[in-house]
Structure 1
Amino acid sequence: MSPRGRSALIAAALGLALLAGCASPQDDTPAPSVAVDAALVTQREQAGIEDCPLTPASAEPVPGGLPDLLLGCLGSGRQVNLAGLRGSPMVINFWAQWCGPCRAEAPSLAQFAQRAHGKVAVLGVDYSDPDPSLALAFAQQSGWTYPHVTDPLRQTAGPIRFTGIPVTIFVDAQGRIVYRTIGAVASVDQLVEATHTYLGVDL
């Protein structure tokens, strides 16, 4: 091969390496942690509520999927990128401690999370809620041990397309929203049936 040909091959290889280097941070760089009141961390731990899952700092949303949006974890310094929640089917419930219908559906969600453990991930979104301490107290009272993120500024409403709570969405392992329930769920059986129908998981 001529020197000019070898130079062209080397340049092409370097170009591919640079492209790969530019693409990798969205997959490998974890979402940064933030400072949080130590009392809230203690409250979450004493309530037996799990810490939030680790996600990348940035992720390309899939069509019809969760947005590339960072939300803080309730009672933890972790941040969660919603678009990075992939690899497992998931049920996400939007709630607030001041919301009457959210309180009505709370027992069904607690029962569902127990049945879904190890098969379907469950995540709560504390929505438009000004007091994280009251939110944690309500989660503990409800028997919720699954993790929760916070959305005090209502950033999720636009991209996920809802106007009020409670709302429950069903997300497949690729991060696509495949079904949603507007308003309070009536029973744990309603959640189990929707999980079978839209996520293909039997509980």
Structure 2
Amino acid sequence: MKRPCRAAILTAAFATALAGCSAPEEPLRTYRSLPEQPLFRSIRPADRPDAPALAGTSLAGKPLSLADHRGEVVVVNAWASWCGPCRAEAPALNRIQRELGDRGVRVMGINNDTELGDARAFEGDYALGYPSLHDPLGKQFFKLPKGLVNTQGLPFTVFVDRAGKLAGAVSGGVSEEDLEAILGALLKEKSGAG
């Protein structure tokens, strides 16, 4: 028996959430497709809370704010240089930024390294084409709604729609296939959905 691919399952799960098929009293729906699939949570457009004010200083020492990307679909990825799954997903996040940037997708990292030099080395080693906030104490993580994602483990990824609302999250590593499935659904939404 042939098992469905992760992208097809994620696309179906996200489309179901966007269509509003979850019960109103359950705005956060959890989907797990395969044992190796990261935990994915999708929020129906009508139930999406505002994204928190994620802002601070980038690894390059420049101001960086999620609010600067209102009107775009934003992939917020929490990572650290010592994290194996973070290293595995970095090339996929970089390709997504490069390939979907002209369609209104932005990747923004939140780095949890204590040493700024370690974070900058990682950024250079993987030639990351997107900026990351330096957040060694994890203060940005506390701004996320409880239950959206497990902020105790890295990596995790949060998706913000064009209206600046939290659309969903993945706990654990995310593949390019996963990103394409989730972003494909978000890019189909009309501006200001939710």
TM class by shorter chain equals: 0.5 to 0.7
Compute the TM-score of the two structures, normalised by the length of structure 2. Answer: 0.63
Cα distance in 1, alignment partners of residues 54 and 172 from structure 2: 23
Structure with the higher helix share, 1 or 2: 1
Shift of 1:83: 4.4
State the identity as a percent.
34
Contact 1:179/1:198 (CA < 8 Å) preserved in 2?
Answer: no
Question: Structure 1 residue 200 and structure 2 residue 159: aligned?
Answer: no
Q: Which residue of 2 aligns with 1:138?
A: 122
Compute the TM-score of the two structures, normalised by the length of structure 1. Answer: 0.61
Moved over 4 A (4+): none
Shift of 1:112: 1.6
Cα distance in 2, alignment partners of residues 168 and 199 from structure 1: 17
Question: Structure 1 residue 173 and structure 2 residue 158: aligned?
Answer: no
Question: Structure 1 residue 94 and structure 2 residue 78: aligned?
Answer: yes
Shift of 1:150: 1.2
Q: Match for 1:193: what amino acid?
A: A
Cα distance in 1, alignment partners of residues 54 and 157 from structure 2: 18
Q: Match for 1:189: what amino acid?
A: E
Q: Which residue of 1 aligns with 2:101?
A: 117
> Out of 132, 136, 144, which is 1:148 matched to?
132
Shift of 1:141: 1.2
Cα distance in 2, alignment partners of residues 132 and 111 from structure 1: 24
Question: Structure 1 residue 184 and structure 2 residue 169: aligned?
Answer: no
Contact 2:54/2:143 (CA < 8 Å) preserved in 1?
Answer: no
Q: Match for 1:191: what amino acid?
A: L
Q: Which residue of 2 aligns with 1:28?
A: none
Q: Per the alignment, in what secondary structure is the counterpart of residue 93 of structure 2? A: helix
In the TM superposition, 1:58-73 aligns within 5 A as 64-73=49-58
